[in-house]
């Protein structure tokens, strides 16, 4: 694996521009990804932890140590799984950057990004983990900055690096509290040291880890960088970031919360569920209102991460109530949804990338009718949209079904606060599923169907082969994960089994084709449902072909209700599509609308132009981050006044310091 990414990075750096350079970079990614996947499967299924110690490096804090256990292997596999399609996709996609940005830097950084991301789950001591973690943030920061000419890329990158750095600082604090009374900083010692921590300290460590890794995962109060950074990055990079990097936030939380601290009181789970629900609702609602395709996908990542956190929360809650079997199922369901989200979200980002590649614009109000120009991309995007909306045959539905079922035992439990919380979680889960379906009808319908709304959309051409292959792999992955739930779930449960009182004998998730909850609560078989759907469609098509009329299909203009010409401006745009929901959730959005109509000079009854502008309230930016920034700015102005320029003032500070210390000495001789 190291070899693969290493070759890719070095190759990209040395090789001159042009196809060869891109080729080496893509080859490096594919090779590294495959190696990573193989390693993770070997550990996940084989169960043997893979360790590698390099004491000479980083000798200041117990050397560079890697230990890949089952939990880490899952996330390593995730990186490997996505590296392959994104590498293949990136080969052609980067061609568009030929003249404008340095391909060598992009290729090298991408490989380094994948390398550091694969090594994060393997790290076995604090400094190695932080080194890889910050390396991942740094390389992805440079990747976001590839398109530095775009106006808001720099601001987006700035937000991103600032948020990840703050996250790192919090996680660092959490780790170091753990390491305070441990002899070395290896995770093994941390585990033993954590046992002797006071409950108050354990709670602070958990909260710090939640804040630190939550900011990387994009949980609501800390999600503001995600809708800015992902659209700014090249599409296959934002696919990797959205698909995998935010999952490493989940990994970090699991590593500290579950593995090192070994679970905690029930309110941890409740907090996670609350945050998850909030993220899911806010994510999907803001996704609905977006007109920029990639920002819509970024917000929907926030939503899906919210769903994953609801699963994690349920797991921690049950762990707190000692219902360990239900906890294991909830954790496995959350991980499975993370895996599925990685597959279909990166597919959607790659689709958006090929739309951007073809039309050079992401604004949905200027797209439309791309299904003619980009048939393959449209088909893959449709598969992705179906999966993310959680519709039956594909993997999105299966993981949402599992999340539903894993929440169910919570409703019956006796503990006072659990039942209402679970009901809230279930209703949020369902609401977000519905709104996601509406959102992706909008995303797919407005972008790909109907009449092209701009010349760029009209003459869009299909993406090159390698991009289609990349998307194809992911589309197949979506279908396969949907059907292979019966195999994947036990493997995930085994990954989590060892730590924190979770039962080691992993419960069965159904046999053969049908997937059933271990508590026997409900059974469902995704494969047979898919098969049934195909059979019935075939039958219906056959019946219609036999009995229906022989008339050939006549193509004519859309019914215009008396109107003669049908122009693209008469179509429903994405803002129009989302308008009913904006009105329904007006409390949250508080939309501001101003309509400026300038009439035709001759008569008031003819209109020259109408301009409709409507903004929605970005709650978190305005009421959480803006005051923070202004307060820091006010303090800095106050501190700046210290450096006022007068030598006398400077000397006065010096004398005051001296007299102060002297008085201190006199007053408190001890």
Partner 1 sequence: MDSLFSQLSVLGSSLVLLFGLILLWRRGISAYVGAFAAQSMVLSAVIAIVGYFGNDHELYWVAGTLFLLKGLVIPRLLRRMERRFAVEREMEPYVNTASSLVVSGLLVLFGYMVTRPLVGLSQLPTRAGMPLAMGLVLVSLFVVISRKKALTQVIGFLMLENGLALLAVLGTYGIPLIVELGVALDVLMGFLVMQIFVYRIHETFESIDVEQLNRLRY
Partner 2 sequence: MGYVLEVAQAALALALAPGLAGLIRWLKARLQNRRGAPVWQPYWELAKLFQKEVVVSSNASWLFRAAPFIVFASTTAVTFLVPILAVPLPFDGLGDLLVVVYLLLLSTFFLSLGGLDPGSPFGGMGASREMTVAALAEPTVALAIFALALAAGSTNLGQIVARTMADPGAFLSPGHLLAFGALFIVTLAETGRLPIDNPATHLELTMIHEAMVLEYSGRYLALIEWAAAVKLFIFFALLGNLFIPWGVSVVLTPTTVAVAVASLLVKLVVLAAVVAVLETRIAKLRLFRVPELLSVSFVLALLAVTSSFLLK
Partner 3 sequence: MSPFALLLGPPLLAAVLAAVLVPYRPLVGWTGALLSLSSVGAALVFWSRLLAGDVPTSGPGEFLRADALSTLLALCVSVVGALAAWLGPGMGEDDGYEPAQARRFRIFSSLFTFTMLFAVTANNVGFMWIAIEATTITSAMLIPLHVTKASVEASWKYILIGSIGIALAFGGTVLAYFDFVNMAGRQDAALHWTVLRASAAHLHPEVIKLAFVFILVGYGTKAGLAPMHTWLPDAHSEAPAPLSAMMSGVLLAVALYAVMRWEAVVNATVGTGFTDGLYITLGVLSVAIAAFSLVIQRNYKRMLAYSSIEHTGLICVGLALGPLGTFAAMLHLLNHTLAKSMMFFLAGRVLHRYGTTEIARVSGLLKVMPWTGGLFAAGILAVVGLPPFGLFVSEFALFRAGFSVGRPWLVALILALLAVAFVSMIGHLNRMLYGVPTAGVRTGEDRLWPLIPLGLCATTLVVLGITLPAPLETLLRQIVAIVER
Least Å distance, CB 646 to partner 1, is: 5
Q: Which is nearer to partner 3, 564 or 666 (CB)?
A: 666
Asked if residue 162 binds partner 2 (CB under 8 A), the reply is no
Structure tokens at 546: 């036999």
Q: Is the CB of residue 196 less than 8 Å from the CB of residue 181?
A: yes
Binder of residue 648, out of partner 1, partner 3, partner 2, none (CB less than 5 to 8 A by kind): partner 1
Q: Which residue lies nearer to partner 1 by CB, 555 or 641?
A: 641
Tokens of 472: 């194809």
Q: How far apart (Å, rounded) are the C-alpha atoms in residues 53 and 67? A: 8
207 binds, among partner 3, partner 1, partner 2, none (CB under 5 to 8 A by kind): none
Which residue lies nearer to partner 3 by CB, 89 or 187?
187
d(CA 396, CA 388) in angstroms, rounded, equals 5
Q: In whole angstroms, give the CA distance from residue 172 to residue 175.
A: 5
Instruction: Report residue 347 CA to chain centroid gap.
Output: 12
Our finding on whether 524 is near partner 2 (CB under 8 A) is yes
Cα separation, 356 vs 505, in Å, equals 48
> Binding partner of residue 323 among partner 1, partner 3, partner 2, none, CB under 5 to 8 Å per kind?
none
Told to check if 539 binds partner 1 by CB under 8 A, we report: no
> Is residue 638 close enough to count as binding partner 1 by CB under 8 A?
no
Q: Is 533 in the site for partner 2 (CB under 8 A)?
A: yes
User: Measured between alpha carbons, how far is 471 from 355 in angstroms, rounded to an integer?
Assistant: 12
According to CB under 8 A, which one of 57, 162, 624, 658 is a site residue for partner 1? Answer: 658
Q: How far apart are CA 461 and CA 459, in angstroms?
A: 6
Q: Give 199 or 645: the residue with its C-beta nearer to partner 1.
A: 645
Q: Can residue 429 be called a binding residue for partner 2 (CB under 8 A)?
A: yes
Is residue 578 within 8 Å of 289, Cβ to Cβ? Answer: yes
In the complex, the smallest distance separating the C-beta of residue 239 from partner 2, rounded to whole angstroms, is 23
Q: Between residues 266 and 422, which has the closer beta carbon with respect to partner 2?
A: 422
Q: Phi/psi of residue 489, each to 5°?
A: -60, -50
Residues 44 and 108: beta-carbon distance below 8 Å: no
CA distance 92 to 113: 19
The dihedral formed by the CA atoms of 156, 158, 160 and 162, expressed in degrees to the nearest 10: -150
181 binds partner 2 (CB under 8 A): no
- Interface residues with partner 3 (CB under 8 A) are 56-61, 127, 130-131, 134-135, 138, 145, 148-149, 154, 157-158, 161-162, 165-166, 169, 172-173, 176-177, 179-181, 185, 632-633, 635-640, 642-643, 647, 649-651, 653-654, 656-658, 661-662, 665, 669
Interface residue with partner 1, options 99, 562, 645, 670 (CB under 8 A): 645
Nearer to partner 2, 229 or 370 (CB): 370
Place of tokens 């006010």: 634
Element (H, E) at 52: strand 50-54
- Nearer Cβ to partner 1, position 465 or 651? 651
Residue 110, helix vs strand vs coil: helix
Q: Shortest CA distance to 444 belongs to which of 348, 359, 303, 357?
A: 348
How far apart CA 217 and CA 128 sit, in angstroms, is 20
Tell me the C-alpha distance between 327 and 320, whole Å.
9
Q: Does 581 bind partner 2 (CB under 8 A)?
A: yes
Measured CA distances, 163 to 142, 221, 301 (Å) = 15, 11, 17
* Per CB under 8 A, 511 contacts partner 2: no
Taking CB under 8 A as the criterion, the residue among 465, 651, 657, 664 binding partner 1 is: 651
Q: Taking CB under 8 A as the rule, does residue 134 contact partner 2?
A: no
Considering only residues 173, 207, 325, 419, which one is a binding residue for partner 2 as defined by CB under 8 A?
419
Cα 113 from Cα 135, distance rounded (Å): 8
Q: 20 is in the binding site of which of partner 3, partner 1, partner 2, none (Cβ under 5 to 8 A by kind)?
A: none
| Residue 662 within binding range of partner 1, rule CB under 8 A | yes
| Contacting range for partner 2; rule: CB under 8 A; set: 581-589, 602-610, 616-624, 635-643 | 581-589
Which of partner 1, partner 2, partner 3, none lies near 173, with the C-beta cut-off 5 to 8 A by kind? partner 3
Binding residues for partner 1, rule: CB under 8 A, are 640, 643-648, 651-652, 655, 658-659, 662, 665-666
């Amino acid at each position: 694996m190291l070899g693969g990414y290493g070759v890719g990075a070095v190759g990209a750096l040395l090789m001159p521009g042009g196809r060869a350079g891109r080729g080496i970079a893509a080859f490096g990614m594919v090779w590294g990804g495959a190696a990573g996947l193989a390693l993770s499967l070997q550990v996940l299924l084989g169960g043997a932890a893979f360790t590698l110690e390099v004491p000479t490096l980083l000798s200041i804090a117990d050397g560079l140590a890697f230990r890949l256990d089952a939990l880490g292997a899952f996330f390593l596999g995730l990186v490997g799984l996505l590296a392959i399609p994104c590498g293949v996709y990136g080969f052609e996609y980067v061609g568009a950057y030929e003249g404008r940005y340095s391909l060598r830097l992009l290729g090298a950084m991408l490989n380094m990004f994948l390398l550091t991301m694969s090594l994060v789950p393997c790290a076995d001591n604090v400094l190695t983990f932080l080194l890889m973690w910050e390396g991942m943030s740094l390389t992805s920061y440079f990747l976001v900055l590839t398109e530095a000419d775009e106006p808001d890329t720099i601001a987006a990158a700035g937000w991103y690096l600032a948020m990840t750095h703050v996250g790192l600082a919090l996680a660092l604090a959490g780790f170091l509290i753990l390491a305070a009374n441990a002899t070395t900083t290896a995770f093994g010692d941390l585990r033993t040291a954590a046992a002797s921590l006071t409950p108050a300290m354990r709670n602070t460590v958990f909260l710090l880890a939640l804040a630190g890794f939550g900011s990387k995962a994009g949980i609501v109060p800390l999600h503001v960088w995600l809708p800015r950074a992902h659209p700014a990055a090249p599409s296959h990079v934002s696919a990797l970031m959205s698909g995998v990097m935010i999952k490493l936030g989940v990994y970090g939380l699991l590593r500290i919360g579950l593995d090192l601290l070994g679970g905690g009181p029930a309110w941890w789970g409740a907090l996670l569920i609350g945050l998850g629900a909030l993220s899911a609702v806010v994510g999907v609602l803001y996704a609905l209102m977006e007109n920029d395709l990639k920002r819509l996908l970024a917000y929907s990542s926030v939503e899906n991460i919210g769903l994953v956190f609801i699963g994690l929360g349920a797991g921690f809650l049950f762990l707190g109530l000692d219902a360990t079997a239900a906890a294991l199922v909830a954790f496995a369901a959350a991980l499975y949804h993370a895996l599925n989200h990685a597959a279909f979200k990166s597919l959607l980002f790659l689709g958006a990338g090929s739309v951007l590649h073809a039309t050079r614009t992401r604004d949905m109000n200027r797209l439309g009718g791309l299904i003619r120009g980009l048939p393959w991309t449209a088909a893959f995007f449709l598969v992705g949209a179906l999966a993310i909306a959680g519709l039956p045959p594909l993997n999105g539905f299966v993981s949402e079904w599992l999340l539903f079922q894993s929440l169910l035992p919570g409703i019956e439990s006796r503990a006072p606060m659990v039942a209402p919380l679970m009901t809230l979680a279930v209703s949020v889960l369902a609401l977000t599923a519905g709104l996601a379906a509406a959102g992706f009808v909008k995303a797919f319908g407005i972008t790909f169907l109907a009449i092209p709304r701009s010349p760029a959309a009209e003459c869009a051409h299909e993406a090159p082969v390698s991009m289609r292959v990349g998307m194809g792999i992911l589309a197949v992955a979506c279908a396969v994960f949907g059907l292979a739930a019966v195999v994947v779930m036990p493997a995930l449960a085994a990954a989590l089994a060892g730590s924190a009182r979770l039962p080691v004998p992993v419960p069965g998730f159904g046999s053969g084709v049908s997937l059933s909850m271990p508590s026997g609560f409900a059974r469902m078989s995704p494969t047979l449902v898919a098969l049934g759907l195909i059979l019935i469609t075939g039958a219906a098509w056959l019946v219609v072909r036999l009995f229906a009329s022989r008339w050939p299909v006549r193509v004519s203009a859309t019914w215009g209700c008396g109107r003669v010409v049908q122009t693209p401006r008469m179509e429903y745009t994405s803002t129009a599509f989302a308008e009913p929901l904006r009105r329904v959730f007006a409390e949250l959005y508080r939309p501001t609308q101003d309509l400026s109509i300038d009439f035709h000079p001759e008569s008031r009854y003819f209109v020259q132009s109408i301009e409709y502008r409507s903004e929605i309230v970005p709650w978190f930016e305005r009421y959480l981050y803006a005051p923070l920034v202004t307060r820091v700015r006010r303090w800095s102005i106050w501190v700046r006044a210290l450096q006022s320029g007068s030598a006398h003032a400077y000397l006065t500070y010096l004398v005051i310091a001296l007299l102060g210390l002297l008085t201190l000495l006199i007053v408190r001789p001890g």
